[in-house]
Chain A
Amino acid sequence: MSKQRAVVYPYHYSSVDLVRHRNLLSEVQIIGVLSPSGFSLAGYDCSRADDGEKIGILVSPESQFHEVMAGSEVLIWAEYGLPSDNPFWKICYDKVLCALGMKKKVLCLQKLQPQEVQFFKRYAKLSHAEFQYYEDSYPTYSFTDTWRLSQLETPVIAVMGVSESTSKFALQLSLYEQLQNMGYRVSHIGTKHYCELFGTHSFPKFMFDDTVSSQHKIRWFNQYLKTIEREESPDIILLGIPGGLTMSDDTDYGDLGLLLFETTYQLEPDFTIVTMPWSKPSQEQICSLRKDVQRNYGIPIDLFGMSNTKIDETSFLENQDVTNIDIFPVASVDNILSKVGFSEIYPIHGKENIHQIIKKFLEKLS
């Protein structure tokens, strides 16, 4: 089946992974990206958004929306973490309605309120177009109430982050792509809510459902993993765990590490990678991190991955805003790591670094 030509909008840092790993997209072929004015991305290679390796697609300005959309069949409405009362949403909604008016299919990765989804679906129906919300492609699972937890027989690589925005998803996709290229069959459960676009699994929705008790989450997640193992017979399960860890410095990094606890309660990963923000860590911090994760979750950390991003401290401390991200050149990660000299921390960008991480995993398994 030929892939549908797609355009990503609004393009910015959060949607780089979609474009960088576009070969993994099972149903669409990205032919263009559109960035809102004021983002300073238009006219540059897509890699300007994350300061990573060159991608090979130029960012088009929003003003060329009609021309770029005319040559495509799908608009991928990329997620963008702004509050819903931000005036930018009006522009964004307008562009989505415009695409529907052009009878284009809209693949919505943006989280919306149920009434907004209904709104866009109705508008699409009137326009004889299609509006596909990311949840529409979630498979349904049925779970039993058995208390028995089953052990997985497949090796598991777990990817977790010290905090949000530490490039967990970028690392998962790089590992997934490279492991597949090496001939391994990989089942991936990813940290983003739109992994089905990559032909993999989004972290299951019930794990975020406040009406489901922790006991049920633990049991159901166990059955969920066993179902994937049975249906896909993978060589490796790659499990991305959303959110962050809870550290001993009393900083609240989100859900107090509860999701990580529920996820790993019945699971001992064979290889654990913890991604960390761009920083110059001390030996004490690394030791403390290891100790905390071992004590709180019973998981030994095999290696750390360093991102070239970190949450803007001022925005976080003043407003608990985790959407404001500082991005640093990828080369600066190499510089930091060469100075601190910790062999257990790897940069997570670049094929060679990913190859080294996989090598470590395979060494441990052998």
Chain B
Amino acid sequence: MQTEKYQLIELLNKLFDFKIELSADEDKLKKTYEKLSAVDLLYLYNEVCKRSTRSHSVLQEDPAQYRKLMSYDGMMHLISTIS
């Protein structure tokens, strides 16, 4: 889980010019993640998809599945699939 956390921090810093320390605690990270706008979330999601095994679009999911996939936990799970 620690690896995924670091990867998410790196992505947020790289894609959105955040300056989150790698040592930031998970609550702070989660709060930052949950403040992302819908478009930023989707961009992040698609960027992670490019590096992971998931290839089909989240836009075509039903609303419940969409919310699940775009949640903090859903993103962490997706990051764990990055090869």
Chain A residues within CB distance 8 Å of chain B: 90-91, 93-94, 97, 101, 119, 122-123, 126-127
Inter-chain CA distance A90–B62, complex, in Å, is 11
Which residue of A91, A101, A123 contacts B39 across the interface (Cβ within 8 Å)?
Answer: A123
Q: B1 interface residue, CB < 8 Å from A?
A: no
Inter-chain CA distance A127–B46, complex, in Å, is 11
Question: From residue 12 to 53 of chain B, which have CB atoms closer than 8 A to chain A?
Answer: 15-16, 37-40, 42-43, 46, 50
Inter-chain CA distance A302–B77, complex, in Å, is 69
- Apart from A94-B57, A94-B59, what 16 extra A-B contacts exist at CB < 8 Å? A90-B57, A90-B60, A91-B60, A93-B59, A94-B60, A97-B42, A97-B46, A97-B59, A101-B46, A101-B50, A119-B38, A119-B39, A123-B39, A123-B42, A126-B15, A126-B43
* Nearest chain A residue, comparing its CB with the CB of B43: A126
* Chain B residues in 8 Å Cβ range of A93: 59
Among A93, A101, A126, residue most surrounded by chain B Cβ atoms (within 10 Å): A126
**A90 touching B39 in the complex, CB below 8 Å, given contacts A97-B46, A126-B15:** no
Q: Mark B43-76, 1 if CB is under 8 A from A, else 0.
A: 1001000100000010110000000000000000
Inter-chain CA distance A93–B59, complex, in Å, is 8
* Chain A residues in 8 Å Cβ range of B59: 90, 93-94, 97
Inter-chain CA distance A310–B10, complex, in Å, is 56
A-B pairs with beta carbons under 8 Å apart, 27 shown: A90-B57, A90-B59, A90-B60, A91-B60, A93-B59, A94-B57, A94-B59, A94-B60, A97-B42, A97-B46, A97-B59, A101-B46, A101-B50, A119-B38, A119-B39, A122-B37, A122-B39, A122-B40, A123-B39, A123-B42, A123-B43, A126-B15, A126-B16, A126-B39, A126-B40, A126-B43, A127-B43
Q: What's the least CB distance linking B4 to chain A, in Å?
A: 22
Inter-chain CA distance A119–B60, complex, in Å, is 17
Inter-chain CA distance A97–B37, complex, in Å, is 16
How many chain B residues touch the partner (CB < 8 A)?
Answer: 13
* Chain B residues in 8 Å Cβ range of A90: 57, 59-60
Q: What's the least CB distance linking A294 to chain B, in Å?
A: 52
Inter-chain CA distance A97–B38, complex, in Å, is 14
Inter-chain CA distance A116–B59, complex, in Å, is 14
Inter-chain CA distance A122–B39, complex, in Å, is 7
Q: What's the least CB distance linking A99 to chain B, in Å?
A: 12
Inter-chain CA distance A126–B15, complex, in Å, is 7
Inter-chain CA distance A91–B39, complex, in Å, is 16
* Chain A residues in 8 Å Cβ range of B60: 90-91, 94
Q: What's the least CB distance linking A286 to chain B, in Å?
A: 50
Q: What's the least CB distance linking B63 to chain A, in Å?
A: 11
* Chain A residues in 8 Å Cβ range of B43: 123, 126-127
Inter-chain CA distance A8–B50, complex, in Å, is 25
Among B40, B42, B43, B50, residue most surrounded by chain A Cβ atoms (within 10 Å): B43
Q: What's the least CB distance linking A14 to chain B, in Å?
A: 23
* Chain B residues in 8 Å Cβ range of A97: 42, 46, 59
Inter-chain CA distance A119–B40, complex, in Å, is 9
* Chain B residues in 8 Å Cβ range of A126: 15-16, 39-40, 43
Inter-chain CA distance A93–B40, complex, in Å, is 15
Inter-chain CA distance A101–B47, complex, in Å, is 9
